[in-house]
Amino acid sequence: WGSSSQLFERGACQSSGSVIAGDDGNTVISAHVNTFFSNLGNISEGDKITIKTNYGEFIYTVKEKITFDKSNNAYVSATKDNRLTLYTCKNDLFGNSDERIGVLCSLTEKKFFNTEEAETNE
């Protein structure tokens, strides 16, 4: 949770203002373009993205590729629909870019793990 430099060194980070995967709203995840999201620009509309958590598995379908300025919060704000937003900085050879690239995805399948069953099997 969060977006500090220290967290980005460890992996992709979920924005603290977003909802957990599978919940109604916008799940927003970002990462560095030169590490964990280096191939984000290669994702196409219709591709499937699976989020696996300790409470369930969620499959999203890419609906739209996006480009936006870092000061534009439209794509990373709360929504009422169940979506996943993945984004990163646009790769720029001359330093940091103010432009972001990403994808908007809609939830197409969700499977919550049965916690009672998991506790019984321990």
Name the pLDDT band for 21 (thresholds 50, 70, 90): very high
What size, in residues, is the chain? 122
Q: Which residue has the higher pLDDT, 24 or 11?
A: 24
Residue-wise pLDDT tens digits, 90-116: 987 666 789 999 999 999 999 999 865
Sequence letter at residue 116 = E
Least confident of 62-66, 82-86, 95-99: 95-99
Indicate the helix (H) or strand (E) that contains 8: helix 5-10
Poorest-confidence range of 1-10, 83-92, 110-119?
110-119
